[in-house]
Amino acid sequence: MVTLGDAVAVLEGWYPPVTAESWDRVGLVVGDRRRPVTKVLCTVDVTWPVVEQAIATGADLVVAHHPLLLRGTHQVTADEPKGAMVLRLAEHRIGLWAGHTNADIASGGVGEALAHAIGLQDLSPMEERPSPGLDNLVTFVPPDRLDELVAALTAAGAGRVGSYDSCHFVAPGTGAFRPLEGAHPYVGTVGQLEHVEEVRLEMVLPRARRRTVIAALLAAHPYETPAWHVVETAAEPADTGLGRVGTLPAELALAAFGQQVADALPATSGGVRIGGDPDRPVRRVAVLAGAGDSLLDRARALGVDCYVTSDLRHHPAGEFLEWSHLDPARPALVDISHWAAEWTWLPVLATRLAEHFGPAVGVQVSEIVTDPWTGRFDHRVG
C-alpha cells in the first residue's frame, strides 16, 4: 500500500522544499500522511472545478504547482473560496501537495519541461541555484539494533538519495568506553573500560532536517549517550536553477518560432505574442515559466536570440525592445500564457509518478484549463 506520506516523500525527494524561495509555501497543505493513495490528480492551480474533478474521479491526492495558501492565513472557513476548498478536500479525505519554486528550478521540473516542449536541446539553467549540500550523519550502534535505528532515521528524513530511500552505509568495528559514576550504560559496568562490537552507520540527510533527524537518533538509539557527528558535504553541481537556456535543432525566423511555440502549448485565449522583427533568426533561446520580467537583463547578458516567458508588462517589454536599434543582438521576446507554460510540467510529473509507483497508483493530468482568461476579441474592420 502506498500512503500519502510515501507519495510526499517521493515528491519532496524530486523537488525538495528547502530549495523553494523563502517567501514560498510549498509541501503538504491538506491530508493525513497515514491515508492510502491509489489515485493522483495533477494540476497547475487548485480551483473549484479541479476540486470537484478530484472528488468525481476518486483522487486521494491533488498535486498542484501553485500553492493554494501562498499568503498567510489565520482561519479556514467556508465563507471564502480558499477555505471552502480546503474544507471540501478534507471532507473527502483528499490530500493536497504543492510544488512551486522548488519545482521551477529542479532537474525534471517546470523550466526543463517547458524548454523540452518547445523543442530546445542542450539545456542549462538561466540562473543557477545549486542544491544545498547534504549532511552526512555518522553514528555507532550495536548490530542487533541497526535496523531499528535505520528505520527511525529514515522516517525522520534521512537516507533519501533521488528516487531511493533507506540509503545507508554500514561497516563493522569495535567501540570502547568507560561508564562513569551516575551513568546507566546499555552495555558494560560503571568504572570499567568496555570494548563492544558495533557497526558504523552513515546516512545522508537534507541540512534543513538536521534537528529532526538528530532528535530521532537520540530517541531511537539504545545508548544513553550515543556517539555521533555530522559532516557537511559540498553543494552539488548546478543542474538546477531558474529557467533554462537551450538551442533549436535548426535556425528559425522569429515568426516561425512563435508559431512552433504556440503549437507546442495548450491553447489559451491569450495565445502567443512575439516582440521583435518577425524575420529575425532564432537558434539559441532562454525560457522562464511564469512571470519573467525579473530576468530580462539576464536573458540579454546570456546572449540568446530570444527569450520566452509569461506576464511581460508593457513598459518593461517596450523599454527592453527599444534598445534593439542600438543593440541588434538584444533578444526578441515571446510572451506566452502563464498557465500554459507551467502546464507543460504536468505530463512530465505524471509520467515520473506512474513509473515510480507502477500499477499501485493511477495518475491523471487534469484537462481543466485554469488560465483566468476565457475569451479574446480582435478588432473587426468595418
For residue 25, what is the domain's CATH number? 3.40.1390.30
Binding residues for a divalent metal cation, as ranges, are: 65-66, 104, 338, 342
- The answer as to whether 360 is a domain residue is no
Given this model, what pLDDT does residue 164 score? Answer: 87
pTM assigned to the model: 0.80
Residue 66 lies inside a defined structural domain of this protein:
yes
* Residue 7 pLDDT grade (very low, low, confident, very high; cuts 50, 70, 90): very high
For 111-142, b where at least 16 C-beta lie within 10 A, e where not — what string?
Answer: bbbbbbbbbbeebebbbebbbbebbbbebbbb
Q: Domain boundary at 339, 358, 377, which?
A: 339
What is the mean pLDDT of the segment spanning 314-328? Answer: 90
Domain annotation covers residue 368: no
Dist. CA 62–CA 45, nearest whole Å: 10
Between 194 and 64, the more confident residue is 64
Question: What's the rounded Cα separation, in Å, for the pair 346 and 106?
Answer: 14
pLDDT of residue 382: 67
Q: Tell me the pLDDT tens digit for each residue of 129-158.
A: 877 779 999 999 999 999 999 999 999 999
pLDDT score recorded for residue 70: 86
The rounded mean pLDDT for the chain is 94
Examine the domain organization and report whether 247 and 325 are in the same domain. Answer: yes
349 inside domain:
no
Average pLDDT, integer, range 61-85: 90
Band the pLDDT of 162: cuts 50, 70, 90: confident
Q: Can you say which residues are annotated as belonging to the binding site?
A: 65-66, 104, 338, 342
Tell me: do 228 and 267 sit in the same domain.
Answer: no
**Residue at 353 is within a domain:** no
Helices 81-91 and 48-56, axial angle in degrees (round to 10)? 10
Rounded to 10 degrees, what is the CA torsion of 166, 35, 361, 62?
-110
Grid coordinates representing 197 are: 562490537
Which domain covers residue 302, as residue numbers? Answer: 119-129+241-339
Asked if 69 and 161 sit in the same domain, the reply is no
**Inter-residue contact 341 to 65 (CB < 8 Å):** no
DSSP lists the bridge partners of residue 309 as 335
Grid cell in block for residue 239:
543542474
Length of the chain (residues): 382
Average pLDDT value for residue range 52-56: 98
Total count of domains within the chain: 3
Q: Is 377 domain-assigned?
A: no
Among 8-22, 206-220, 230-244, the least confident range: 230-244
Contacts of 195-198 with C-beta under 8 Å, sequence gap 24+, read: 196/142, 197/142, 197/143, 197/172, 198/140, 198/141, 198/142, 198/143, 198/172, 198/173, 198/174
Average pLDDT over residues 232-249: 88
Mean pLDDT score, 164-192:
92
pLDDT band (50, 70, 90) for residue 66: very high
Distance, in Å, from the CA atom of 280 to the CA atom of 296, rounded to the nearest integer, reads 18
Residue 15, pLDDT > 90, answer: yes
Domain contains 155: yes
At a CB cut-off of 8 Å and minimum separation 6, what does 361 contact? 2, 7, 37, 38, 39, 40, 353, 354
- The domain that holds 153 is classified in CATH as 3.30.70.120
Residue 238's pLDDT band, with cuts at 50, 70 and 90, is low
pLDDT at position 129: 82
Q: What is the pLDDT of residue 327?
A: 85
Residue, of 239 and 102, whose pLDDT is higher = 102
For residues 173 and 13, the model is more confident at 173
Average pLDDT for 311-335? 93
Whether pLDDT at 72 is above 90: no
Do 46 and 99 lie in one domain? The reply is: yes
Among the listed ranges 31-45, 88-102, 129-143, 268-282, which one has the minimum average pLDDT value? 129-143
- Segment 218-241 shows an average pLDDT of 90
Residue indicated by cell numbers 483566468:
372
Q: Are 155 and 216 within 8 A, CB to CB? A: yes
Residue 361 falls inside a structural domain: no
Do 145 and 213 share a structural domain? yes
Per-residue pLDDT, 371: 96
Position 237 scores a pLDDT of 65
